[in-house]
Amino acid sequence: MGPDLERVLLGQSELAEGIARLAAEIDADYNGRELLLVGVLKGAVMVMADLSRALHRPATMDWMAISSYGAGTKSSGVVRILKDLDADIAGQHVLVVEDIIDSGLTLSWLLSNLRSRNPASLEVCTLLRKPDAAKVEIDVKYVGFDIPNEFVVGYGLDFAERFRNLPFIGTLAPHVYS
C-alpha cells in the first residue's frame, strides 16, 4: 500500500460486489428502455467500464469532463466544463455515472445543466457517497457505498492525478495533502 495511504476502505471484491448490485438494480429499473450512461471524467472511468460490462441491457455511453477541484482535496464549487457531451440527450433516458459525491455542489450544477437539455429521464448512479460532507441535497437513485468524510483515492479517484490506477479504494494519508 505504501506510506501515502492509511488504509484500504473498500477492497477489489467489495467493489465488484457493489458494481454487480448497482447493475442489477439498473437492469430491473430500465427494463424495456434504452439507456445512455453519462460518465464524468476522469474519476468515473473505472466505475463506468465495470458498470457497463455488468449491465445485461443495451446501453450507450457518452462522457463529460467537469472540474471543481484543481489539485486540492475539497470542491471549490466553481464548475468548468472541460469536455461536453458528443450527442444530444433530448428524449433519452440518461443515467449520470459518478465515482463519488461529497459536497454535491458539482453534481447539482451538472444535473441542472443536463435537465435543461430535455432528457426523457435523468438519474444518478454513484459508487461512493459521503453523507456527512453534503452541502446540497441531491436525489441519488443508485448508491454503491456510503463512506466517511475522508479523502479517498483509487479505482479512478485521484489526488493530483496520482493513485487512480489502484484496484481498491483507500484513504489518503494527511501528510500527502497537508
Query: Active-site residues: which are they?
Result: 102
Of 123, 102, 108, whose CA–CA distance to 38 is shortest? Answer: 123
The label of the residue with cell 494527511 reads 174
Residues 89 and 16: their CA atoms lie apart, in Å, by 29
- Contact of 69 with 76, CB cutoff 8 Å: yes
- Contact of 100 with 129, CB cutoff 8 Å: yes
84 sits in the region (left: phi over 0; alpha: psi -120 to 50; else beta) called beta
The SS3 assignment for 71 reads coil
* Sign of the CA dihedral running 138, 139, 142, 146: positive
